[in-house]
Each structure stands twice: as C-alpha cells, then as structure tokens.
Structure 1
Amino acid sequence: MKRKLIALLAVAVLAGATYVLGYSTLFTVSSVEVMGSNKPITTGITKGEKLARVEPRAISAKIEMLDWVESADVSRNWINGKVVISLTPRTPIAIYKDQVIDSSGSSFVPQGEPPQGLIEINAASIEDAVKAVAFFTELPEELNSTLTVVKVRATGALVLLLENNGKKVEVRWGIDSDNELKTKVYKALITLPENADIKRVDVSAPHAPIVK
C-alpha cells in the first residue's frame, strides 16, 4: 500500500511539473535577444510561448542554416523567461564578386559592407575562387600577409599580386604544386639587391624562374 502511495505521488508530481512547464502561464518567453548580428533574423520564437517548448538544439540548427552563420547558441532563463541567441558569424578572408569566403571555404553574401583588406579573387566561378582560398591559406604567413589579389586562369594557373616594400609584384605561380619550393625561390629573388625594382616574377617553373 505504501509503495502504491509513493508511486501515485511521483506520478502526480511529474504530471504537475509537466503542466507547469508546458501548459501553465508560468515559465513563458518574456523576450528574445539576438547577439552577434546587427540585422534581424527569424528565430521562430514568439513572446508568450512556453519556455519548455523552445528547443535550443532545433533553433540552433535552423539558424546555422544561414550561410553567414558559423554557429548559434541558444539559452533559456527560467527565472525571467528571457531567451538569448548568441551568433558567431563567419569571418571572411577573401572576396569574389558580391560574395565573401571564409577560411573553411564557405562562401556567402556579407551582411552589410564587407570588411576592408580582404584578398580579391578573380576567377571564372565560385568553385575556382574557393580553390584559390584553399591554396593561399596554405602559404606561409610572411607571404600570405603581403597577398592582395589571386587570379585564376582558365588553365588553373595562378597569378598572385603581392606587396614588397610598398611596391606591387606580379607573381606568376602556375598551378597549385611545388608551393614550398616556389615560395623559397620567390623569397630568395626579392632579397637580391638587383631585384629591388622588379615588377614581375615567374616561378611556375621554380628551377628556372624569370624576373622582369
């Protein structure tokens, strides 16, 4: 008899908790705050909705479908009813026409004006542009930091525009291969005193580079 009473009490408590969380006017959404974005987004959450029915994982997954969002974290405050959505936007490192590309190769239309200093990609398609980003992110930082433009030719050959002591240097890189050797050759060439004013370097055949 005692066991039955305990079981009934447990069921009653569970039912009461379920009602309070899911159906009563207590624990409802009082407000929704989105952090990490200056523009409004559709969250699917309405004021007055039951907090228990707000599913953080489902909402995060929905928001992360936005191409410019890298991650979304959703939290519920059971005391004041506030739902906070923290967004981590993707950080672009290159620009191709009206799209920007981040280090993972994801392309998206920027929210507002794109930041200054992005590497410009000239290519026939977004796919080629993404490949160009994958290429230059593997370059040494000392070379990558001077890169301003990457051109992708129809043959797949790459042409880089680099800055060297305040001057522009066009580097005909060729295809994406022997990059470590090409980097060493380029660095060796620009350090030579006689190459102080060079405007073009061809390292597509790194064992026989051409300087102009």
Structure 2
Amino acid sequence: MPRPKRFSVITLALVLVFSSCVYLFAWSPVFTVKRIEITGAPTAESKVLITRASEITIGEKMARIEPRSVEQRLKSFAWVKQVNISRNWIDGHVHVDVVPRTPKAFFNGKTLDLSGTVFELPGFKGTELPMVIASNPVDGVQAIALFTSLPRSFSLKITSLTARPDTNFTMKVRHENRLLNVKWGPSEANDLKIQVFNALMKEKENKRVRTIDLSAPHAPIVK
C-alpha cells in the first residue's frame, strides 16, 4: 500500500514543478525582455526596419520569442544575408545580429553584391559606387569584378560601367571637366590600358577628345 501512495506524491510533486516552470517561463514577469540590441544594420534606416520587423518588444515573455520565426521574417529582406538571434534569460537581453549584403554597384535602380543578388538597402547612399548597366545580374557581377580590380585612383573616375554579353566593357570616365566615353574591351591588360589612357590625356591635341577606344591598347583610337 505505501508504494502507490509514494508514487502519487512523487507524481503530484513533478506536476507541481512542471506547472511552476511553465508559469515561471511563460507567464511570470521574471523572464521578460528588458533590453533589445540590434547590431550589424549598416544604416539608421535599416536598423529601424529590423527593429520593427523583429516584432520583439520590451516586457515580452522571453519564452514566447521564437528565434527561427524572427530570423525568417528578417531574411525576407533581400539585403539581409544572415541573422542570429540570442536570448539571455538571466538579464533579459535579446541580441539580434544582422549580417548585411555589401553593395558593390548600382544596378537597375538598386544595388548589387558580388554574389549577383540585387537588393535595396534602406538609407544607403554609396556615392562612390559605379552605375552598372547590364542585361542581367551575372554580367553585372563581371562588371563589378573589373571595377574592383582597377586602381582606386582610376576607378573613382568611373561614373558608369556597361557590361556586354561578349564580356566587353564600356565606361564613362570623368577626367577633369570632361565626361569621356571609353571602350575598354575585355578585362585584360588593364594596367596597360590605364597607362595609355593617362598618356593620351596629357597630349594637348586630345583636350577635346570625347571618345577613347582602348580595346587594343597598343593601337588606341581617339575621337
């Protein structure tokens, strides 16, 4: 007879402990969100967007926050590459760490990264990025590869870069007060092409030149 009674007592104790834990984590004000930290958002506007989309609020029960659901919501933004959510149950600190995509060029009114992903980053200016013109993101990535391979002293002069399906490139280059149309050709012998460009710009007879063909750097054409 004592055994069933002891079993009942143990069962009741376990039920009480379980119920207390459920109340403590799901309903008690003890484990609630006291601080929300957003890191990785590259602009003030993107940080506000992440804060709102996370739907995490101060005073919310920690147990009711589902990291996977939050991550899925935030990853719906094309500019978000990765998201990590962590919760500190002791001090009520929720950390949302965002890994954003890095814009490398403007493409069709939006931005493009090295993976070929097209996205719009809220609040991003990127005045130093080139304008890439291409029929598709893949060709756009080829243009970015060319742009990033060029010396900064030259790439800063490029205002737009057009990629052709045959991997030939043209670009608009601002030199002093002139905007030049430069036929670059394939992405090869780039250092030589820059040397030829600089040499041509020093010649007095080229002061009014508007178009330069560097596709064959040993025989450049100016117009």
Name the TM-score, length of structure 2 as normaliser: 0.69
The corresponding residue for 2:172 is: 161
Q: Which runs of 5+ in 1 are unaligned?
A: 1-14
User: Quick one: distance in 2 between partners of 1:48 and 1:76?
Assistant: 11
User: Quick one: distance in 1 between partners of 2:114 and 2:155?
Assistant: 13
How big is each residue's C-alpha offset from its partner over 1:126-177, in whole Å with a ceiling of 9 and x where there is no partner? Answer: 2211221122111111111111001123433211111111211111001222
The corresponding residue for 2:63 is: 50
The alignment of Structure 1 onto Structure 2 pairs a total of residues equal to 195
Distance change (3 Å), C-alpha of 1:105 and 1:187:
farther
Distance change (3 Å), C-alpha of 1:39 and 1:63:
closer
User: Quick one: distance in 1 between partners of 2:142 and 2:76?
Assistant: 22
User: Is 1:95 equivalent to 2:99 in the alignment?
Assistant: no
User: Quick one: distance in 2 between partners of 1:137 and 1:61?
Assistant: 32
Alignment of 1:60-71 (within 5 A): 63=74, 66-71=77-82
The corresponding residue for 1:6 is: none
**Identity percentage of aligned residues:** 31
What amino acid is aligned across from residue 92 of structure 1 in structure 2? P
The corresponding residue for 2:192 is: 181
How big is each residue's C-alpha offset from its partner over 1:68-100, in whole Å with a ceiling of 9 and x where there is no partner? Answer: 124545443444312122435334231111320
Distance change (3 Å), C-alpha of 1:69 and 1:54:
same
The corresponding residue for 2:49 is: 39
User: In 1, are the aligned partners of 2:168 and 2:186 still within 8 Å (CA)?
Assistant: yes
Distance change (3 Å), C-alpha of 1:200 and 1:91:
same
User: Quick one: distance in 1 between partners of 2:87 and 2:66?
Assistant: 8
Flag the structure with larger Rg: 2
Shift of the alpha carbon at 1:205? 0.8
User: In 1, are the aligned partners of 2:116 and 2:138 still within 8 Å (CA)?
Assistant: no
Alignment of 1:48-197 (within 5 A): 48-50=61-63, 63=74, 66-102=77-113, 105-111=116-122, 114-197=125-208
Shift of the alpha carbon at 1:203? 0.7
User: Quick one: distance in 1 between partners of 2:82 and 2:155?
Assistant: 27
Shift of the alpha carbon at 1:48? 0.5
How big is each residue's C-alpha offset from its partner over 1:17-47, in whole Å with a ceiling of 9 and x where there is no partner? Answer: xx59967844343454434223145437572
Give the structure with the larger helix fraction: 2
User: In 1, are the aligned partners of 2:26 and 2:61 still within 8 Å (CA)?
Assistant: no
User: In 2, are the aligned partners of 1:30 and 1:48 still within 8 Å (CA)?
Assistant: no
Q: Secondary structure at the match of 2:149?
A: coil
Distance change (3 Å), C-alpha of 1:114 and 1:61:
same
Name the TM-score, length of structure 1 as normaliser: 0.72
User: Quick one: distance in 1 between partners of 2:164 and 2:182?
Assistant: 13
